[in-house]
A and B are shown apart, each in its own frame.
Chain A
Amino acid sequence: DAKTTQPNSMESNEEEPVHLPCNHSTISGTDYIHWYRQLPSQGPEYVIHGLTSNVNNRMASLAIAEDRKSSTLILHRATLRDAAVYYCILRGGTNSGGSNYKLTFGKGTLLTVNP
């Protein structure tokens, strides 16, 4: 499985934007970039995913580098409820074959949000 590299921890202030980086230099052409987060004492939850173009949803934005070797999850206005571990995960597309169904988690980035 292609691997991702994330900082162990980051800190932000409430209501400020947060940019969470992820490096994935060995990404293949069919790998999607997924982000999940895990709030304290909960299971992970889906945040966003993308392939090549930048993506926006109600939770966050995903900025993907042109060479796709890195990406950034953007929380536009951090709240205390955004304090969590954020995981960047590569997954093969549904047409790529192989075991694209499972998620391979790293240690993620622990985001602390200060009031």
Chain B
Amino acid sequence: DTGVSQDPRHKITKRGQNVTFRCDPISEHNRLYWYRQTLGQGPEFLTYFQNEAQLEKSRLLSDRFSAERPKGSFSTLEIQRTEQGDSAMYLCASSLLGERTDTQYFGPGTRLTVL
């Protein structure tokens, strides 16, 4: 399968712990996005990379959140000192800059539960 992959698929953690999620985009895609989705809502944009450069961060991304995309390939999203309000599905998507439709391809998501 050459789609977007995310690891882990599920994560249960205790409040105050740090967690890190990984996203592997489609190999030739140079744009990578992170979204967060809570129950009953549509996904909300968190941050965007073009190659290795993080070009935008949403106000939703507090100081406890950090995202990286070293070498413009895979990306990681880290949440420090998790809170119960961080419980959500974290979705990663990728797209190809210059592709006419700029379609975003989403991974299956990482479901985070903070106890």
Q: Is B85 an interface residue (CB 8 A)?
A: no
Q: Which of A57-111 contact B (CB under 8 A)?
A: 85, 87, 91, 94, 99-108
Q: Is A45 an interface residue (CB 8 A)?
A: yes
The reply to whether A107 and B106 contact each other, CB–CB distance below 8 Å, is no
The reply to whether A101 and B93 contact each other, CB–CB distance below 8 Å, is no
Set B4, B33, B109: member contacting A102, Cβ < 8 A = B33
Interface centre among A41, A43, A108 (most CB of B within 10 A): A43
Count residues on chain A whose CB falls below 8 Å from chain B CBs.
22
B112 to chain A, nearest CB (A): 15
Count residues on chain B whose CB falls below 8 Å from chain A CBs.
24
A41 to B4, CA, bound (A): 15
Set A42, A46, A85, A107: member contacting B104, Cβ < 8 A = A46
A22 to B50, CA, bound (A): 31
Instruction: List A contacts of B106 (CB < 8 A).
Output: 42-45
The reply to whether A49 and B107 contact each other, CB–CB distance below 8 Å, is no
Set A46, A87, A106: member contacting B105, Cβ < 8 A = A46
Q: Is B72 an interface residue (CB 8 A)?
A: no
The reply to whether B40 and A107 contact each other, CB–CB distance below 8 Å, is yes
The 10 closest A-B pairs by CB, nearest first: A105-B42, A43-B106, A102-B45, A46-B103, A105-B43, A44-B106, A43-B91, A43-B109, A43-B107, A106-B42
Query: A residues within 8 Å of B by Cβ?
Result: 36, 41-46, 49, 85, 87, 91, 94, 99-108
Query: B residues within 8 Å of A by Cβ?
Result: 4, 31, 33, 35, 40-45, 48, 56, 91, 93, 95, 101-109
